[in-house]
A and B are shown apart, each in its own frame.
Chain A
Amino acid sequence: MKFERYGLGIAKGMALTFMHLFRSPITVQYPDEKLCTAKRIRGNELVWFPDKCTGCATCAKSCPQANIIINTHRGDESKFIVDKFEIDTGRCIFCGLCVESCPYDALAMGLSYECAKYRRGDLVMDKEKLAVSGTHQPSAYFRPQFYDKLPEQSLLLYDKKVGGQKLNFLPFSKRKRGPGA
C-alpha cells in the first residue's frame, strides 16, 4: 500500500498525545484516598439482622451455590430459634439472590470490598460475624431503607479532572469511607 497522507496521520496522533500532557491525571491514590462506592453496592460480605430473622430459610433455598447453612429448633409460641446461621463467603458469588428473596428484610449485602483473610477457614462467617453492628453495616441493595445513611457515590463523569472539563459536581472523598470501612 502506498505511504499516503505523507505522515499526517502520525502527526495528528502525536498531537493528541501531546495534548493529554496538559490534562491532570485521573489516578486515585488508594489507600490514602478512597472513593465513595454506590449506595447499592454488593460488597464482599453479608449482614444479618437477628431480631428480624425467623429462620424460614428462603435465602438458603435461593442460593445457587447452596452456601447458607441454617439450623433451628422450635421455641415457645411455635417460633423458630436460629442456632446456626453460617455463610461461606469463600464460595459465595455475591449475586444477591438471597438478599432479594428474604421476605422479612433480615439479610442485606455488606459495604466492604476489603475482606481478604490469610486463611480460607476465616472466610466462613457464623452468626456473630454476620450480625449487624457498628462496624458491619448494610448496603442499600434491595433495602431502600438504608439509602439515606450512606454517602453519595463519587462519579468519574462529574469530576473536574476528566478531560479538563470545568464541572465540579461531586469531589473525590479524601476521608475513609463511612461506617463499615
Chain B
Amino acid sequence: MTLLDQFQLLLKDANWPDWAVYLTPAVAGILLIIVFILTIVIVFIWWERRLLGRFQIRTGPNRCGPEGIFQPIATAIKILLKEDIVPEKADKLIHFMAPVIVFVPILLIFAVIPISAGAILVDLNVGIIYVIAISSISVIGIFMAAWASNNKYSLIAGMRAIAQMVSYELPLVLSLVGVALVAGSFSMIKIVEAQAIPYILLQPLGFMIFFLGCLAEMNRCPFDLLEADSEIVAGYHIEYSGMKFAMFYLGEYGIALAYAGVIATLFLGGWQGPLLPPIVWFLIKVFMIFSVIIWMRATLPRLRVDQLMSFAWKFLLPMAVINMLIIAIEVLVGTVQWLMVILNFGFAALLVLLWSRLFTLGGGRVEV
C-alpha cells in the first residue's frame, strides 16, 4: 500500500469528485518526483566535480558560493543563455526531437523507484522489467542525434552507441533474473522487503555484472567512448548547444541517479537500515554508488569499441548465464541464506579466475 494509495483513499473518504480523486495524487506524485530529481541532480553535479578534483589533488570549484554549491546553477544558466545553433544541412526535425527522446525515458524510470518506505509513484508488479524496457528507448534517441547532425564525428559515435548499448542489455537483464528468483517477485517494493541480507552479499557475481552493465548503459568511464573527449571530440552531442545540450547533460546525471537508485533498491536493501529515517538511508546508498562511479572515472582509461564488444559478449554474458543457473539451482534446492552467501562468493571467485584465463580479446588489426 503505497503512500499515494493512502492519499487516494483519504480523498475518497472526503467525498471529492471521482476525476479529482484519480488525478490529484497522480499530479502531486509527479511533481514531487520531478522536484526530487532536479534537486538531487544538481547536488550530483556539484559532488562529481568536487570529488573528481579531490582524486586529482586539486580542489574542485569553490568560488561560486560557499564551497562552490552555486556552481551547478551557474552552469545551468550559462547553458541556457547560449545560442542554439543548428547546422545548415542537418535534418531539422530529427535534430530537434532527439534530445527529447533521450531525456523523457529517464524521467519515466523514476516511477518505480522506491525512495522511502511506501514512497513510490506506482507499485507495478513488473517493476524491474519496466525499468529495463524503458531505458532501452534512449538508444534510438542517441542515434537520431548522431545521424541528424550531419557530422562524421557524431556518426562514428552513433554507430558505437548502438553497438554498445544494445549488447550490454543482455548481461544486465540476465543478472536481474537472479535477484527476482531469490526475492520471488518482480515488484520493487517486494524485492526490498525480501532483503534481510542485502543481495550484494548474496549474489556478488550478479552485482558485478549488473554494475558493469549499468556503467555501459550510462556511457561512463571506462565505457565512455561515445563522448570520448580525446578522440571524437564530444561524440554524439557535438553539434548541440543551448537548451538541447542541457537536456543531454541533465539526462546523463539523471540516468546516473536512476541507475544508482535501481542498484540501491535491488542489491543494497533500498531504504532499510537502523537508526536514521529511511529516506536518508536511501540517499546515503545512492551517493555511495555514485562516488564509486566517480572513482572509476578518475582512474581507468577507456576501452576500444571492439574490446568493449568482446567484453560484453564473451565475458559478461556467459558469466551471467552461469550465475542465473547457479542461483536457480540454489533456490530450487532451498538453501539457507548464509550458506548461499558463502557458496556464491566461492563460485564468483572461481568463475572470475577461470574465465580470465580463457578470455582472449581479438587481435584488433584488420588487414588492408
Scan residues 72-124 of chain A and give those whose CB is less than 8 A from a CB of chain B.
none
B353 near A20: Cβ-Cβ < 8 Å: no
Scan residues 13-39 of chain A and give those whose CB is less than 8 A from a CB of chain B.
13-14, 16-18, 20-21, 23, 25-27
Assembled-state Cα–Cα distance A6/B296 (Å): 17
Instruction: Kindly list chain B residues whose C-beta atoms are within 8 Å of the C-beta of A18.
Output: 295
B54 near A10: Cβ-Cβ < 8 Å: no
Say whether chain B's binding surface is mostly helix, strand, loop, or mixed.
helix
* A-contact 0/1 string along B291-319, CB 8 Å cutoff: 00001101110000000000000010000
Q: How many A-B Cβ pairs are below 8 Å?
A: 48
| Interface, chain B (partner A; CB < 8 A) | 53-59, 295-296, 298-300, 315, 352-353, 356-357, 359-361
Instruction: Kindly list chain B residues whose C-beta atoms are within 8 Å of the C-beta of A25.
Output: 53-54, 57-59
A26 near B356: Cβ-Cβ < 8 Å: no
Assembled-state Cα–Cα distance A26/B54 (Å): 10
The chain A residue with its CB closest to the CB of B56 is A20
Instruction: Kindly list chain A residues whose C-beta atoms are within 8 Å of the C-beta of B298.
Output: 17
Instruction: Kindly list chain B residues whose C-beta atoms are within 8 Å of the C-beta of A21.
Output: 54-55
Does residue A7 face the partner (Cβ distance < 8 Å to B)? yes
Shortest B209–chain A CB gap in Å is 14
A17 near B295: Cβ-Cβ < 8 Å: yes
Assembled-state Cα–Cα distance A133/B147 (Å): 64
A17 near B356: Cβ-Cβ < 8 Å: no
B295 near A20: Cβ-Cβ < 8 Å: no
B356 near A6: Cβ-Cβ < 8 Å: yes
Assembled-state Cα–Cα distance A18/B53 (Å): 12
Give 14 new A-B contacts, CB below 8 A, not counting A20-B55, A25-B58: A1-B361, A2-B359, A3-B360, A7-B352, A7-B356, A10-B300, A14-B299, A14-B300, A18-B295, A23-B57, A25-B53, A25-B57, A25-B59, A26-B57
Shortest B171–chain A CB gap in Å is 16
Shortest A13–chain B CB gap in Å is 5
Shortest A12–chain B CB gap in Å is 10
Shortest A105–chain B CB gap in Å is 42
Assembled-state Cα–Cα distance A20/B353 (Å): 29
A17 near B55: Cβ-Cβ < 8 Å: yes
Instruction: Kindly list chain B residues whose C-beta atoms are within 8 Å of the C-beta of A23.
Output: 57
From known contacts A20-B57, A21-B54, A25-B54, infer whether A4 and B296 are also in contact, taking CB-CB under 8 Å.
Answer: no
